[in-house]
Amino acid sequence: MKSLILALATLHAVAALPQVSKCQNSAAQMNAAPLPPGVFIQQKLSATPTTPGAKMSKIRYGPFSMKPMQMIENEPYFTNQMPCQNCFITAMEANLEDDAGKTININEGAWLHHMVLYLRGLDRRDLICGRLTAAGIGGQRIFASGNERNPVRLNTKGDYGLKVDNDDKITLLYDLVNNLETPQNFWVTMMYEYVPMSSPEAASYTEAQLAWLDITDCGDSEAPPQRGVYSVTSSPDLWVPKQDYKLLTAFGHVHDGGQMVQAMAGNKSVCDSAQLYGRSEGFIEPMSGPGTMNPGMQHVSDVGSCVDFGVVKAGTPMSVVAKYDTNKNPLNKEMDGHDQTIMGISFVYVAPVDGATSGAEAVPAT
């Protein structure tokens, strides 16, 4: 019953969205500083699908009750709230909202520190890491977001999507911060665009998968903070694909201080993802007032994406390099004043060149 009520609430939320969402997008994009040359930023999703045969689903996961000055670290949330079953997810975007459905961000003391979506179901295994143990959660990682809330689209060129079967469910891993002196309810929201398997358009779709390239390999993504100018890398052969894969899209995730994430094929970068700071007001701390920890500090607000960027051949090792410069953008601070850990991840969405789905390639951890 609860899930039915939530499902109805979700439908209602989608129905009510168009005007607000479009205005917010265009306002944010109009106010933003110009992009550095060569950097492409994925378009925010609106409440209207842009893919033939597709539908939108907005889901609000929560509420997560935050105490004053509280950080909730890597909590799992097992949910039956699915955007669709028997479908291909073609685009996704995360956000953080309050009870009223208003977007909340760093300028109001609210951090979507990070979140990860796992598909759990029969034989769901991570493409690179098999049975995941780092966060104690099994399944197939399909999406993640830091506070930058970068949208991902898999079908910019060609018909690709993440396949959701009838019995798949979602696990959300969430990591949230309330920097206010008052309690707040947070909602982690997801906007999904999907093509139902029953639609004629789905016939031409191929299953995409997420190759999660992480400086901690199959670890918990968190590495010790360092100051200065440096690079952090994964193992050079973190993933050695067993077949040829088309590279559909990719983008990087860092913590403050990170400037660039490179997805490597052999010793060559195939996707440079620039990390941009403070391009709209939500990502800049005010000089004073509730929730301000670092007055005036600019945080990561946008990340460069690569789209349709080639093929990785079977046997070519893939890895990741994260480049930091904390002189340019200082490390973020924990509530206790310590330097925050760093991350370096390239989320690379791939699909087998021959169209056959491959499942997990890794030997599952025992």
State the residues that interact with Cu ion by CB under 5 A: 114, 146, 343
- Closer of 164 and 173 to Cu ion (Cβ): 173
Q: In the complex with Cu ion, which residue's Cβ is closer, 64 or 88?
A: 64
Least distance between Cu ion and beta carbon 146 (Å): 5
By three-state DSSP, how is residue 50 classified? Answer: coil
* Structure-token match 């909590």, residue found: 75
Q: How far is the CB of 236 from Cu ion (least distance, A)?
A: 23
- CB of residue 8 to Cu ion, shortest distance in Å: 33
The answer to whether 196 touches 206, Cβ cutoff 8 Å, is no
Nearer to Cu ion, 156 or 341 (CB): 341
For residue 63, is the peptide bond before it cis, meaning its omega torsion is within 30 degrees of 0?
Answer: yes
Q: Which is nearer to Cu ion, 129 or 215 (CB)?
A: 215
Nearer to Cu ion, 340 or 358 (CB): 340
Shortest CB 17 distance to Cu ion, Å: 27
d(CA 96, CA 83): 17
* Smallest separation, CB 215 to Cu ion (Å): 11
DSSP 103: B
Distance (Å, rounded) from C-alpha 156 to C-alpha 26?
A: 20
For residue 15, give the H/E element and its range.
Answer: helix 2-15
* Residue with Cβ nearer Cu ion (341 or 358): 341
**Is the CB of 146 or the CB of 291 nearer to Cu ion?**
146
Least Å from the CB of residue 255 to Cu ion: 6
Among the listed residues 108, 126, 93, 296, the one whose alpha carbon sits nearest the alpha carbon of residue 218: 126
User: Three-state secondary structure along 274-328?
Assistant: EEEECCCHHHECCCCCCCCCCCCCECEEEECEEECCCEECCCCCEEEEEEEECCC
Closest distance to Cu ion from the beta carbon of 140 (Å): 19
From its phi and psi, is residue 284 left (phi > 0), alpha (psi between -120 and 50) or beta?
Answer: beta
